[in-house]
Amino acid sequence: MKTQSFGMLGALLLASAFAAAAEPAANTPAAPAPAAAETTTPSAAAAEPAAPSADAEPAAPSEAAPTSETTASAEIKPDLAAELEEESPGVADSMLSGESLKLYGFGDVGYRHLLVPDNSPWLVYLNRHPSMFVGHLNFYFDAQLAAKWRALAEVRFTYMPQGGWRTGDDGVVTHNDTRQADYMDFTREHPVNGLMIERAFIEYEALSFLSLQAGQFLTPYGIWNVDHGSPVIIGVSPPFIVGARLLPDSQVGLLGYGRVNLVDNLELGYALGVSNGRTDLIAYEDLDDNKALTARLALTYRGLGELTLGSTFYTGTATDNTRGVYFEDGSPKSSEDITYQVKERNYAFDLRWTYHDLNVQAEAIIAERKFTDAGRPTFGSGLEPDRRYMGGYGLVGYRTPLAGLMPYVKGEYSPDPALQGVGVDQNVTLLTGGLNFRPVPRVVLKGEYTYGFWFDPKPNTFAENPISAIDFQIAWAF
Amino acid sequence: MPLKSPLARAPRSGARRQDRRARSCALFAPLIALWLAPACLVDLEDRCGENQHYDAEQVTCLCDAEYALSGNACVACPEHEVGSPGGCVCEPGFTRPEPEAACEMAAGLGDECQSDADCGDPLYGHCQLPSEEQAGYCTIADCSTSADCQGQDYACNTRNTGQSPSFCERPPTGLGQACSSSDDCAGFEAGYCETVSFDSCVVNDCAPDPGKCHGDWVCCDIGLLSQSLCVPPSELSDGNCPAGGSLVPVEAP
């Protein structure tokens, strides 16, 4: 009986998902709120996904265009609901109100043209020829499990690893080839692509000012890392310092967050998390005994537009190791050999001010990395030194009355540890100017020009070669 | 809509507001302390590990002298070894007979050898083998003149260009040793005591094989002595042998 119930439940969930997908306009609150982030999204909500919070009013399923699936669901709903009511009243309530699962997301299509000489070394890694591409295709699976219980998963569908560039031991950069013989197509080869789990957690609203998440959550720092949906961010690409991942973009563990009003127009947002640390290598296992801590404080003042000042502290240890078996008196034992281990202590600061149609935002990060003796990796002809990275960006945009066009400028001064591999250990300076145009609430068109260079570049390194590029993007929320 | 805390719902009276502020401070204090507590993790004046130093030019940590990179640590080098980017290597003048063996005093100029590998001192890295049966000796290769040969009485032999590189050839045994008769030179390669001018042991009977003279020494057939002797080129006068002798040419190999 139970099995049958779950089968029917699955059918209902699917039907609900189809219904939601069939009529996106009827599901407006479930979308990643494209306009909100630019104007009124409180920074304290950074700890929440870009999707609406649990207390947002979901659209009734009846608004969706009826389909055979929804009709069938409606027919079996009362019986199933009554059955579930006894064991899982929350689920039944959700199903009855048609909001058991919300499916929404965002996508973007881009065009990039690098304006560099044909022999620029950057063209080893960046697209040599002007290219169009589907950038993001992120889906949110948002389920209200019961009163105060919610689950959210964000999954990015990607063409990678097919085609990804990788440098071989011989210095030649080749792209990945994941094509496989498709047994459903006369074993003709087809590329196999992947997906990335951006976050997946279950959330319990313990108190009105405290919610708890367990699972993979976005690190609550800054503005861009949490509001990362391409329709809600103003520019085409995330700031360099965010892409540099000086703080992990997501972690697996526990996160508590909330906000309280202190006095009129002044709100305090906070978050405290404990996790395995970085998920870059392994998202489902901690490779050391050290648990990472994340803490965030943000003050939002709504007396003059909305001004949010936030800061995040992150400390953790990132480790990589190998394991082996050895024998002691004939008995098998195991050991680990640490190949990489670094302690991190990072501070992130953010500011966002929205006043009518003006948007000002800035982020700064100080990241410190200290290697342990056992885990200091080789670097060049020696070993990697401890480092302190500092950088940030500032962005100003103004939504004009002229067809809602928003011109914006962005200045960045940012480190990127990944560039150390090509001998660049200085901060890059990036200057960007662009236009953001939202013809309809769910669609955003962007175009921007970026010029990047290094002050006083080290001779005979990539840093001697400035980069400039033109980017266009169409982003949509669904 | 932001969540409303119970604090926010409190009626606005002065006392309550004060109470609210106090509670806000109580909330702030530990959280701010969280930020202030941790000091800097990285000391930029000491950003490398044990037995390492920071090289600003290469932006990397290099091992201190006497230490070398082994895996991802700098380990002390054994005796007679110094650190290098490739690991511990033998000090100058020392060599490793086997790849994993300890460094030993390298064979120097004139020391016995079987191959170049036995000549650890890079300056004298060439093992000159007189024949396959005989042990060779370490010397300098690719010399142009005897001035390139730093050893006493070593002379540059450029005659064997077809077989081996030019090399600094060691002097015959006994050469230059003071003597009053050939008995004093017995047993030496320089077995003839020249008593007219030098009173020292020299190589004689070189006319049949002028190549017998080492290095750039030449063979002079001196009728006055009824001997052919090996003499240094400095003894020639305008290319002529001393004491009216005649120069015995060396046949091309």
Q: Nearest by CB to A262, from B24, B42, B85: name it.
A: B24
d(CA A308, CA A65): 40
pLDDT beyond 50 at A15: no
How confident is the prediction for chain B on average, in pLDDT? Answer: 79
Backbone angles phi, psi at B71, to 5 degrees: 70, -120
Chain A closest-CA separation from residue B14 CA (Å): 12
Q: A404-439: per-residue pLDDT in tens?
A: 899 999 999 999 888 887 888 889 999 999 999 999
pLDDT beyond 90 at B115: no
DSSP state for residue B212 in the 8-state scheme: G
**For the ranges A6-15, A134-143, A221-230, A273-282, the one whose mean pLDDT is highest:** A134-143
Of A202, A215, A220, which Cα lies nearest the Cα of A257? A220
pLDDT number for residue A43: 34
Do B60 and A385 count as a contact with CB atoms less than 8 A apart?
yes
pLDDT beyond 60 at A3: no
Q: Which residue has the higher pLDDT, B221 or B120?
A: B221
pLDDT beyond 50 at B7: no
pLDDT number for residue B126: 85
Q: Nearest by CB to B35, from A300, A313, A384: name it.
A: A313
Backbone angles phi, psi at B196, to 5 degrees: -75, -50
Q: B39-85: per-residue pLDDT in tens?
A: 688 888 899 999 999 998 888 999 998 898 888 888 898 888 888 87
A194-207 and A188-190 beta bridge pairing: unpaired
Do A297 and B31 count as a contact with CB atoms less than 8 A apart?
yes
| DSSP E strand boundaries for A147-193 | 149-158, 165-167, 173-175, 180-182, 188-190
Task: Please tell me if residue B62 touches chain A, with a CB cutoff of 8 Å.
Answer: yes
Q: Nearest by CB to B4, from A208, A268, A420: name it.
A: A208
* pTM of the complete model: 0.69
Do A268 and B54 count as a contact with CB atoms less than 8 A apart?
no
Cα A126 to chain centroid, rounded: 22
Sheet of B246-248, strands arranged across: B227-231, B218-222, B246-248
Do B52 and A383 count as a contact with CB atoms less than 8 A apart?
yes
Confidence of residue A110 (pLDDT cuts 50, 70, 90): very high
What percentage of residues in chain A have a pLDDT greater than 70? 79
d(CA B171, CA B183): 20
Do A208 and B6 count as a contact with CB atoms less than 8 A apart?
yes
Confidence of residue A4 (pLDDT cuts 50, 70, 90): very low
Cα A138 to chain centroid, rounded: 10
Q: B140-196: per-residue pLDDT in tens?
A: 888 888 888 876 788 888 876 555 678 888 889 899 889 988 889 998 889 999 888
Do A9 and A2 touch, CB atoms closer than 8 A?
A: no
Chain B closest-CA separation from residue A181 CA (Å): 41
pLDDT beyond 80 at B31: no
Do A376 and B50 count as a contact with CB atoms less than 8 A apart?
no
Confidence of residue A391 (pLDDT cuts 50, 70, 90): very high
Residues on chain A touching B4 (C-beta within 8 angstroms)? 208, 261
Q: Which residue has the higher pLDDT, B244 or B6?
A: B244
Residues on chain A touching B29 (C-beta within 8 angstroms)? none
Do B5 and A344 count as a contact with CB atoms less than 8 A apart?
no
Task: Please tell me if residue B73 touches chain A, with a CB cutoff of 8 Å.
Answer: yes
Do A262 and B47 count as a contact with CB atoms less than 8 A apart?
no
Cis peptide leading into A89, omega within 30 of 0?
A: no
Of B241, B237, B195, B197, which Cα lies nearest the Cα of B218? B241
| End-to-end CA gap in chain A | 36
Q: A362-379: per-residue pLDDT in tens?
A: 999 999 999 998 899 988
Q: Convert A435-445 to b/e letters by CB count within 10 Å (16 or more is b).
A: bbbbeeebebe
